[in-house]
Chain A
């Protein structure tokens, strides 16, 4: 590396700057920033055939464009002599000449013309930037005049450069250095070549971005988001903890989409929403004739449907103990038996479980199997509640307003500033789901552009702020009281007993369907 650093130091000092050694992140703008003097000039030339010719050339040039752009705007030298100016322009010219050689060799004249245009643009920008900052100094464009044989010699020797002592390789790019043949050890060219960036990584993340509205800047939320990005590609079981409505299923979908299984099925099942006697056949499937009403030919369960993909077990804490043992076997052996079946079926499933309950406590109360708990709790991820994410309320409101106005074909509305303040102090027992319900209500009901607190009064007052008025915003109001048995029965009579009716009741109560089923179970309401 001696010759490389020597050359850079020489170049830097000739341009009135200081040498700051390039690291693998070059060109790192932040490092260049804050230094008032020109540090180094990098000549990015890609004459290596290891990557696609045109693309490599374009990427190299792109670095130059950015570099000069920043040089002109942010890193302009305090003073610069004519001689030093010439060196800079020489280098720009040299770059174009090298690209010229490169392109002529590959019959890509079109690209060369384009780069030439960009160079003239940059040169004019360079002058105008200088002029603006220091006033009317007299500039003239002086180009380097190296013999053509020099460039051709470079092309012939390029392979040798790769093994030269002046090479530096990093994750993203490779540098080579070569002395100028005419100038002994005093000068040379730094070659820069970007490496191909895997498009896979992008497509992975892109799919999550496109499909999961995971919105927020709250540190706990971002931590959970980073954790799923880190762990999604592994096969480990993930256990999501979070209150009802915090977005557990969205996270599970995001994990699936980030994983190598993204093209395989994602099957979600809510253990609390399916009656206990049906859950087993739903999960494991059944053979023909295994019970009264069983379909002819049997039916595959969710485990089989999720084969090769991901199975999301929501409200795992509500799974009956008997089934927990069967689930444990699937987790351990990757095998299952259908209800009424005799031969084991092998499955390849990535499990994601979620619960709003404290599984540790359930284990101590013997309501949850300890061995299953340990099997599931490999990567625990806690999702914050909405009341702990006050800063995310506005972006979430924006998202839901846009969603509901567009899906319902209504005009756009905004919440008045005092409504947003109220929302920030409101405890949101139903979390994001509840917030979305409020927005859906407001978009449907309000006819004005701006939604005022009074517009939400019938909705909020009735449901959450009884006796104390809408303005109440005390923080100790964390959980909505569970409705009594009688109240639930009245609601069932009012709305009906179908699943759709129960969904409506859950929406009305600001809870999930699973929570409603849990409450019905608790009060033994059939």
Chain B
């Protein structure tokens, strides 16, 4: 069992931004709160092997606009209240809290809730990266329901849903938070230790910490890239690949077939690199040829600070690198691609994995 204390926060911040793949909310909003909560406190981090198969655990996350979150900083008490209401509803005691989205703010919000509720955090999540919708989880992939679902909206009001279909639930929660405060906190997915062990992506919290700690080291860009490659290659993801390095020359919005995309364009030595995103980075092109696509992760690295960036932090004139990280295998099987593949975001094309785009990098012995 690991213990999360204040010393984890910085590394976890960078790791969470890295796994946010450009999105996942603005992590820095929660940092002062997390520091304050962890001062003199610590949270137990349970690996999936340590879970009691018969005990119950629930998922916690926050949803809504990062801008509104910045103005109304959550303290974790909302999450605690939601967990308590869910426990009442299920007639169960929860033995720990799971991250639903192991990236961005949703690594920290469950952590904050765990501190407030005095519960351990489970070292696993149901996305392994950031995704924008509730049904984009391994729970849904394996046919497990999110309900009962307790939502506390921006006005502090509690709503409970028993909707079986997670997509419908997604619509309902969006509707509520759209009307009430623009943000919300939920507790849902009450599952047994056995189910969590079977269906969640294991070790994502400690892995975010491991990745983030590389960014804490003082080093040059090449050293950073090399270290991240080393850590990622023995993970469930696979080695990171540098897709491009250049200066940001354009940030704009394009609309196609009523789908709105935001784009960031980089240039270097007559080459052009374009990243298309909505919340998370979704597709990348190099000189108009496909360079990476969701569910693989596309990550911006600021070449000045050598830190991962959210796409909303990218600015004109900034020098950045773009890295690709292969998605965990679970997101690449056919029925998962029906949930999180490029077509789910409006790009009507079959998924091409990074390893297929760069076989000489990923499987050199077989190619040469």
B304–A58 CB distance below 8 A: yes
Tell me, yes or no, whether B243 is within 8 Å of chain A by CB: no
Tell me, yes or no, whether B230 is within 8 Å of chain A by CB: yes
Given contacts A33-B10, A132-B32, A414-B333, contact A406 B234 (CB under 8 A): no
Instruction: Give the distance to chain B from A212, nearest Cβ to Cβ, in Å.
Output: 8
Instruction: Give the distance to chain A from B166, nearest Cβ to Cβ, in Å.
Output: 19
Given contacts A65-B305, A209-B226, contact A398 B233 (CB under 8 A): no
A402–B364 CB distance below 8 A: no
Tell me, yes or no, whether B95 is within 8 Å of chain A by CB: no
Tell me, yes or no, whether B156 is within 8 Å of chain A by CB: no
Give complex CA distance A161, B330 in Å: 58
The interface residues of chain B, by DSSP majority, are classed as helix
Binds B, one of A24-32, A232-240, A273-281, A425-433: A24-32
Tell me, yes or no, whether B229 is within 8 Å of chain A by CB: yes
The 8 A CB mask of B23-40 against A (1 = contact, 0 = none) is 000001101100100000
For B316, give the chain A residue with the smallest CB separation: A117
Tell me, yes or no, whether B220 is within 8 Å of chain A by CB: yes
The 8 A CB mask of A33-55 against B (1 = contact, 0 = none) is 11000000000000000000000
Which positions 41-82 of chain A face chain B at CB distance < 8 Å?
Answer: 58, 61-63, 65-66, 69-70, 73-74, 76
Tell me, yes or no, whether A159 is within 8 Å of chain B by CB: no
Tell me, yes or no, whether A462 is within 8 Å of chain B by CB: no
Give complex CA distance A63, B70 in Å: 27
Given contacts A62-B304, A398-B329, A402-B329, contact A411 B334 (CB under 8 A): yes
Most A-side CB within 10 Å, residue of B10, B198, B223, B317? B10
Given contacts A27-B218, A62-B306, contact A402 B230 (CB under 8 A): no
Give complex CA distance A412, B354 in Å: 13
Tell me, yes or no, whether A413 is within 8 Å of chain B by CB: yes
A417–B198 CB distance below 8 A: yes
Which positions 382-423 of chain A face chain B at CB distance < 8 Å?
Answer: 392, 394-395, 398-399, 401-403, 406-407, 411-414, 417
A403–B32 CB distance below 8 A: no
Tell me, yes or no, whether B73 is within 8 Å of chain A by CB: yes
Instruction: Give the distance to chain A from B296, nearest Cβ to Cβ, in Å.
Output: 11
A114–B35 CB distance below 8 A: no
Give complex CA distance A118, B305 in Å: 11
A209–B230 CB distance below 8 A: yes
Count of chain A residues near B, Cβ 8 A: 56
Q: Which of B13, B355, B364 lies in contact with A211, CB distance below 8 A? A: B364
B330–A210 CB distance below 8 A: no
Q: Which of A73, A76, A132, A406 lies in contact with B356, CB distance below 8 A? A: A406
Most A-side CB within 10 Å, residue of B9, B13, B70, B332? B332
Q: Which residues of B contact A33 (CB under 8 A)?
A: 6-7, 10
Binds B, one of A213-221, A288-296, A324-332, A335-343: A213-221
Give complex CA distance A119, B28 in Å: 18
The 8 A CB mask of B96-107 against A (1 = contact, 0 = none) is 000000000000
A61–B10 CB distance below 8 A: no
Question: Can you name 30 A-B pairs with beta carbons within 8 Å?
Answer: A29-B218, A33-B7, A33-B10, A66-B305, A66-B306, A73-B13, A74-B31, A117-B317, A132-B29, A197-B220, A197-B222, A202-B226, A209-B226, A209-B239, A215-B233, A216-B234, A217-B234, A394-B236, A395-B235, A395-B236, A398-B238, A401-B329, A402-B329, A406-B362, A407-B366, A412-B333, A413-B333, A414-B329, A417-B198, A449-B334
B-to-A contact residues, CB < 8 Å: 6-7, 9-10, 13, 28-29, 31-32, 35, 70, 73, 197-198, 216-218, 220, 222-223, 226, 229-230, 233-236, 238-239, 303-307, 315, 317, 326, 328-330, 332-335, 353, 355-356, 359, 361-366
A-to-B contact residues, CB < 8 Å: 25-30, 33-34, 58, 61-63, 65-66, 69-70, 73-74, 76, 114, 117-118, 121, 129, 132-133, 197, 199, 202, 205-206, 209-213, 215-217, 392, 394-395, 398-399, 401-403, 406-407, 411-414, 417, 449-450
For the complex with contacts A209-B229, A209-B233, 19 further pairs of A-B residues with Cβ separation under 8 Å are A25-B218, A29-B216, A29-B217, A30-B7, A33-B7, A74-B35, A129-B32, A209-B230, A213-B233, A213-B363, A213-B365, A216-B234, A217-B234, A401-B329, A403-B366, A406-B363, A412-B329, A413-B333, A417-B198
